[in-house]
Amino acid sequence: MILVTGGAGYIGSQFVRYYTRCRPTEKVVVLDNLVEGHLEALDGLSNVHFERADIGDFENVKNILSKHRIDAVVHFASYCYVGESQENPSKYYQNNVAGSISLFRAMEECQVGKLVFSSSCATYGVPVQELINEEHPQNPINVYGLTKLLIEKILTGYADTKDWSFTALRYFNAAGADKSGLVGESHDPETHIIPLALKTALGTKEVLQIFGDDYDTPDGSCIRDYIHVEDLAAAHLLALDKLPTQKGGQFINLGTAYGASVKEIVDVCEQVSGKKISHTFSPRRKGDPARLIADASKAASYLGWKPQHDLRSIVETAWNWETKKRY
Ligand code: UFG
């Protein structure tokens, strides 16, 4: 049986939904403290056992691992606001790093040595090449990225000393929503460009700020590689299935290799919603590199993964969710 930490969060719950769709006879244990997660994200899933717990609660996690005879962990639980991590680094070190160490210690005691970890392209920092592959130097420029890098290193230590097999999946910009429209992105406060653009289309946000129009990009706005959450979910299942035959750690980018500018996002959001998105240009946001685009060839060769959703489909599913948002 697998344990999914952060399984009531945006990406974690999408993975749980995908897993139970693909493996309808298997049960999943979801561990979430519901600080950022939403119990409603698990609505309609019958094969899920929910445990409200914190990854840092060592005794509790140990009991959950042994009670459910867990043999692999998919570890999503994390704080993930780049801006907040700069203002309150201790919160991120405590939850993301110390919490993960506590989880790993519980896994070690229960002899669970298989794990898929949610890492991030934020571990790379400012790109030194057009397409970022897994060998790109890792020099994070914010605390959030640093916490993800530290956890990758800690896991490497477990692989070297305790024979763990793990895969760290480095996501680019997660976006979109489940095609059912039942689950999707719900952050408070929301800081991500696609939900903010769609809220502006809906009229629940007055004006969208575009941070910077003087970048060295064709239209002057920042370029990112947006990847649909369902594609992320599919990659996790492929990575999980590889673990029993995998030795040590693997690090894999998850992106589409297609970069979309902020202005392009606004255009696609206008097309999909059929509404004008009122926007202004503001100064650059601190810590935003001009472009972040994945070389996703390792995900294809190692996992046999190929994203199924393009930008249009990302925005369509996000719009479907935003217009009937339940939580
Ligand atoms: N942007 C705007 N206006 C907004 C919000 C964002 O112009 O109101 C721009 C940003 O400046 C950036 C782009 O839209 O150029 C994307 O910004 P997001 O906030 O949507 O996403 P980020 O690229 O900042 O962050 C994402 C994930 C992080 C991850 C990071 C890796 O949310 O978890 O990618 O770089 F760490």
The CATH number of residue 120's host domain is 3.40.50.720
Mean pLDDT in the chain? Answer: 97
Interval 251-266: pLDDT, tens: 999 999 999 999 999 9
Partners of 291 in the β-ladder: 223
Distance 192 CA to ligand 1 centre (A): 6
* Residues 206, 116 share a domain: no
pLDDT value for 108: 98
Interval 176-228: pLDDT, tens: 999 999 999 998 899 999 999 999 999 999 999 999 999 999 999 999 999 99
pLDDT mean over 132-144: 97
pLDDT value for 283: 95
Interval 102-124: pLDDT, tens: 999 999 999 999 999 999 999 99
Start-to-end C-alpha separation, the chain: 29
Query: 183 in a domain, yes or no?
Result: no
Q: In this structure, are residues 3 and 29 in contact, taking their beta carbons and an 8 Å threshold?
A: yes
Between strands 260-261 and 223-224, the pairing is antiparallel
Tokens 């996690």 belong to 61
User: What 3-state DSSP class applies to 126?
Assistant: coil
* Residues 317, 217 share a domain: yes
Query: 185 in a domain, yes or no?
Result: no
**DSSP state at residue 243:** G
Cα torsion 131, 133, 135, 138: sign:
positive
Residue 15 has pLDDT above 90, yes or no: yes
User: What 3-state DSSP class applies to 51?
Assistant: strand
* Residues 95, 13 share a domain: yes
Active site residues: 144
pLDDT value for 262: 98
Query: 104 in a domain, yes or no?
Result: yes
* Residues 82, 8 share a domain: yes
Q: At residue 324, what is the residue type?
A: K
Q: Is 279 in the pocket of ligand 1 (CB under 6 A)?
A: no
Q: What is the length of the chain?
A: 327
* Residues 303, 235 share a domain: no
Q: Is 80 in the pocket of ligand 1 (CB under 6 A)?
A: yes
Residue 286 has pLDDT above 90, yes or no: no
Q: Which protein residue has the closest C-alpha to ligand 1 atom 36?
A: 122
Distance 193 CA to ligand 1 centre (A): 6
* Residues 100, 86 share a domain: yes
pLDDT value for 83: 87
* Residues 277, 312 share a domain: yes
Report d(CA 134, CA 97) in Å as an integer: 22
pLDDT value for 287: 80
Q: At residue 303, what is the residue type?
A: L
* Residues 20, 125 share a domain: yes
Query: 17 in a domain, yes or no?
Result: yes
Tokens 């601190």 belong to 286
Query: 318 in a domain, yes or no?
Result: yes
Nearest to 144 by CA among 88, 215, 99: 88
Query: 119 in a domain, yes or no?
Result: yes
Q: Which of 285, 292, 293, 311 to mutate to test the pocket of ligand 1 (most atoms within 8 A of CB)?
A: 285
Distance 325 CA to ligand 1 centre (A): 21
Query: 293 in a domain, yes or no?
Result: yes
* Residues 158, 99 share a domain: yes
The domain that contains 289 carries what CATH number? 3.90.25.10
Q: Output the DSSP codes for 60-122.
A: HHHHHHHHTT--EEEE------HHHHHH-HHHHIIIIIIHHHHHHHHHHHTT--EEEEEEEGG
* Residues 122, 204 share a domain: no
Q: Is 193 in the pocket of ligand 1 (CB under 6 A)?
A: yes
* Residues 135, 200 share a domain: no
Q: Is 197 in the pocket of ligand 1 (CB under 6 A)?
A: no
pLDDT value for 288: 87
**Cα dihedral: 210, 225, 200, 88 (round 10):** -70
What's the total number of domains in the chain? 2
| Residues with Cβ within 8 Å of residue 301, at least 6 apart in sequence | none
Angle at CA of residue 143, ends 139 and 148, nearest 5°: 70
Query: 182 in a domain, yes or no?
Result: no
Interval 38-60: pLDDT, tens: 999 999 999 999 999 999 999 99
* Residues 67, 139 share a domain: yes
Residue 90 confidence class, pLDDT cut points 50, 70, 90: very high
Interval 148-161: pLDDT, tens: 999 999 999 999 99
Report d(CA 46, CA 49) in Å as an integer: 8
Q: Is 175 in the pocket of ligand 1 (CB under 6 A)?
A: no
Residue 21 confidence class, pLDDT cut points 50, 70, 90: very high
- Which pair of tokens denotes residue 55? 């990854």
Distance 123 CA to ligand 1 centre (A): 15
What distances in angstroms separate CA 265 from CA 16, 165, 207, 228, 268, one per listed residue?
28, 38, 15, 14, 5
pLDDT mean over 17-42: 97
- Which pair of tokens denotes residue 29? 């244990």
Q: Is 77 in the pocket of ligand 1 (CB under 6 A)?
A: no
Q: Which protein residue has the closest C-alpha to ligand 1 atom 6?
A: 193
Distance 124 CA to ligand 1 centre (A): 15
User: What 3-state DSSP class applies to 48?
Assistant: strand
pLDDT value for 190: 92
pTM for the model stands at 0.97
| Greatest extent of the chain over all pairs of C-alpha atoms, in Å | 56
Q: Which ligand 1 atom lies nearest to the CA of residue 208?
A: 8
Domain range for 131: 2-175+227-254
Q: Is 88 in the pocket of ligand 1 (CB under 6 A)?
A: no
Q: Which residues of 93-106 are buried (b: 16+ CB within 10 A; e: fewer)?
A: bebbbebbbbbbeb
